[in-house]
Amino acid sequence: MAAFTMIELMVAIAVFALIMIGVIACWKCIVNGTQVAEISAAACQRARIGMKTVETALSVAEISRANLRYYSFVNDTSDQKFHMMSFAGRMPASFPGSGYYGDEVMRRVSFSVEKDKDNVNNLVLTQTPLLAAGFEKTSPYQIVLARDVSLFILEFWDAKQNDWETSFEPTNQFPPLIRVTLGVGHAGDAGDNNTPFALITREVAMNTVAH
């Protein structure tokens, strides 16, 4: 009876091992690709939701120069990556938190990036009734709009300079346009926090008529 020689067995085992290594490598690529795609899709969804809320709030913002204590437009762009803004507006029924406030449609809203208990940066919406001191519900309502935020930048259109500026000092008026950039997730290595998975930029025309 014919039998395999030791050399033939060793060659067969080596070929089988090479095939299995190739199969395992392909499987790892598929798994890693799926994980990256899921993370990217989640980051894009969070960025869209967060940006939509910011756009909605800016589109209904109002200023009353006679009551700047309540209507002032405040922003802080001193941080390189994470800016903040706060303003008053007549929030629609579909706006987050509207059910909590009922008929109190005039509210002050703030958008800022804050760290959670896991040291992750999140885009947080904070809002209170416009005349909070006169209402029973004075505690602010907060909700996380986007998690793992890597960038939240505000830019303001300067008609005189015909260019975008990174600061806007007046509190009694709005710039004609506000450009908002929101980055979510981190596409780089663990030590690289500068490349977002999802990056969205929107320009919002402001109501510059104060009353």
Rounded CA-CA distance 157/162 in Å is 7
How far, in whole angstroms, is CA 91 from its chain's centroid?
20
Q: What is the pLDDT of residue 64?
A: 87
Q: Which residue has the tokens 């913002």?
A: 61
Q: How far are the Cα atoms of 66, 109, 115, 127, 194 from residue 74, in angstroms, in the given order?
A: 16, 11, 21, 14, 26
Q: What is the pTM of this model?
A: 0.76
Tokens of 103: 């008929």
Q: Can you tell me whether residue 42 is helix, strand or coil?
A: helix
Name which residue leads in pLDDT, 132 or 103: 103
Q: Cβ(167)–Cβ(134) under 8 Å?
A: no
Q: How many CA atoms lie within 13 A of 42 on its CB side?
A: 12
pLDDT at 190 over 80: no
Name which residue leads in pLDDT, 179 or 103: 179
Q: What ranges in 60-196 are assigned the alpha helix state H?
A: 68-71, 98-101
pLDDT band at 196 (very low <50, low <70, confident <90, very high): confident
pLDDT tens readout for residues 107-166:
999 999 999 998 999 999 999 988 764 444 456 889 999 989 999 999 999 989 999 999
Name which residue leads in pLDDT, 133 or 3: 3
Residues 184-194, mean pLDDT to the nearest whole number: 65
Question: Residue 200: which residues within 8 A CB-CB, separation 6 or more?
Answer: 47, 48, 51, 181, 182, 183
Q: What is the pLDDT of residue 14?
A: 80
pLDDT tens readout for residues 26-82:
777 776 666 655 555 666 777 788 899 999 999 999 998 788 888 999 999 999 999
pLDDT at 195 over 80: no
